[in-house]
A and B are shown apart, each in its own frame.
Chain A
Amino acid sequence: MLKLSVSRIPELLAAIGGARALFLPARSGGQVNFTRWDTGVEYCGEALNTVKSAKDFFFPQSENLLTFQTQGKSISITPGGVPEEPFVIFGARPCDVRAMDILDMVFLSDPQDSFYKARRESGVVVAMACNAPEETCFCGSFGIDAADPPGDVAAWIVGDTLYWDAKTEKGEALTGELSALFSQADGGDLAALKTHKEEIASILERLPLSDLRPQSVGGSLLELFSSEKWGELSQACLGCGACTFVCPTCQCYDIQDFNTGHGVQRFRCWDSCMYSDFTMMAHGNPRTSRLERFRQRFMHKLVYFPENNGGQYSCVGCGRCVSKCPVSLNITKVIKAFGVKENVR
């Protein structure tokens, strides 16, 4: 365990960001979002979560897959480049870091997505424990400990001290480069950190969603699918898709062509199962109603994804959909609606 005075965080960021791209939560235009570090960009640690999650850095909102050139009946294809440039994400919260593991299950399962894989290999994640989990947080429901962050490096800010603990080879390599900045944590530090973790745990226990248990969702896939509850649950949904865009685990994408005037770019971009043309085909649409689209999103996160991925839910309880939905619909209401008491431990 290493430590650094909080007042020296700018030095730490300059040392990391001077050698490679560095992205960190910073305030701009009234929002906190991951921003590329440059002189003058300040780490904003008091905001719990960024508006957009960190998934952008591995699975960008839009990326070029290839470029076509056409001449008469001939076509040439130039595959898109994947950046080899190493980069660091500093200050991602435990929920966002766990979300990367969930995206790995999609993009790194056979056949691997080489665009995603290249970014995952060149990125180092410094995860920051949550000093003050908020009332929209329910990461604990998915087995995530906000006081004990996963990632290449785990970090904590306790009072005026930053604690730093490398967890992986990538994390150790980064730490090695920065060793001049750190000093070794002593017994007193470790005791302070332990107390800090206990404080976080006690906040987590008192959160309004702390008793939410996805395991309580009862019934078989077909029983849940055909439940009448979906009608009432989905009634207020506007189908805006905001929940899918702020979600750190939503991974649905679209592939489209754009004619630039000097070639056609084929790009991949985020898409949303909440949109009516998501499943539209020339011969019809299997999900014509809002109910069907709403049901798809939550069945995927709570039933289909776990069935395909050893019980792993496709949700990390980051609370973004809770705070961003314009009509206050979210996965917590779905879990509660389908919860069966006997299923709760």
Chain B
Amino acid sequence: MCGNQKHAVDLLIPTLGVVTGIRTDTADVKTFRVNGVDGGVCFAHMPGQCAMLSIPGVGEAMFSITSSPTNTGYMEFSIKKCGSLTDWLHQMEVGQQIAIRGPYGNAFPVETALRGKDLLFIAGGIGLAPLRSVINYVRHYRGHYGAVDIVYGARSKGDLVDYEEIKNEWSTSEGIQVHLTIDRPQVGWNGHVGFVPDYVKALGFGPHRTALVCGPPVMIKFVLASLLEMGFAKTQVYTTLELRMKCGIGKCGRCNIGSKYVCKDGPVFRCDELDHLPDEY
């Protein structure tokens, strides 16, 4: 069909961002700082929300926004190299423009259910990325929340994302306890060694806490088992799910679990909500 054309203003059309900083976190994770072409952030978001990043001709994929919305100077994305688009992103240099659209999905209930609560963050590997946004939000509005404990594990010391920020900023924040663990003993590591679900149990948190869990699916599964054993109710535990997405607005049909779309009804789910969904994630 031809004829007069008008430009579509559609949510599927991205805007432009520019990479203004690249930090190498681990052997396969880099954190990219992204600004709008005129500076600032490309759009406002809440902790837990995601954005579609794309490179022309390479593809588009959904990534969690790891920076806190309280940081209005730029956005950050911690990205693990694990496919064709992420390979390309890892080869980028500062100054590279990228296509970006969002924000997508719900967010952790930082202004409602989490307000005034004692929080327990549990992360594994790159799973720290979405939780980092919440942690820095909570640090910014410190008075709005109770005690904060962060349990973070990775395969080795070199696989801990954001290690400098954890060591220099989180560990020194008032009322925040950081508990790091790695899977196997390693020369130069004096901290805890062991898997996250066991470490959570060993640390013995009181079941009055609200837990936010993010990491590999198998870790989430065993952490949830640990928490239930410790007396936590599923209504006190939040996690995020990840499925393939194309549109980000609940229409392309591929990220559904039952009647829910992870891109718009998630990615954040309270664990009792998962009981009503088919086990297809």
Q: Which residues of A contact B (CB under 8 A)?
A: 21, 65-66, 68, 70, 73-77, 79-85, 87, 106-107, 111, 113-115, 118, 221-222, 225-226, 251-257, 259, 264, 266, 268, 271, 273, 278-283, 286-287, 292, 296, 299-300, 303-305, 307-308
Contacts and interface: CB of A to CB of B under 8 A. Distances in A.
22 contacts: A68-B99, A70-B56, A73-B95, A76-B16, A77-B13, A81-B7, A84-B4, A113-B10, A118-B8, A221-B276, A251-B251, A251-B253, A253-B251, A253-B252, A257-B58, A278-B254, A281-B242, A281-B244, A296-B256, A303-B259, A304-B259, A305-B259
Contacts of A287: 280
B14 A279 contact: no
A81 B281 contact: no
B57 interface: yes
Contact of B16 (A77, A106, A292): A77
A114 B11 CA distance: 8
B143 interface: no
Nearest to A256: B59
A283 B80 CA distance: 11
A221 B258 contact: yes
Contacts of A251: 251, 253
B256 A304 contact: yes
Interface in B177-201: none
A283 B218 CA distance: 12
Contacts of B82: 282-283
B252 to A, nearest CB: 5
B96 interface: yes
Interface in B237-270: 242-244, 246-247, 249, 251-254, 256-259
Interface of B: 1-16, 54, 56-60, 82-83, 86, 93, 95-99, 242-244, 246-247, 249, 251-254, 256-259, 276, 278, 280-281
Nearest to A80: B8
A307 B242 CA distance: 22
A85 B11 CA distance: 22
A65 B254 contact: no
Given A84-B3, A114-B10, A221-B259, 11 more contacts: A65-B8, A73-B93, A73-B96, A79-B13, A113-B251, A118-B8, A225-B278, A257-B56, A286-B243, A299-B258, A299-B278
A118 B96 CA distance: 34
B1 to A, nearest CB: 5
Residue among B11, B12, B242 facing the most chain A CB atoms (10 A cut-off): B12
Given A77-B16, A84-B6, A111-B11, A286 B86 contact: no
A152 B1 CA distance: 21
B12 A268 contact: yes
B37 to A, nearest CB: 9
Contact of A273 (B3, B247, B254): B254
A83 B4 CA distance: 6
A83 B8 contact: no
Would you list the 3 A-B pairs with minimal beta carbon distance, nearest first?
A: A81-B5, A85-B3, A252-B253
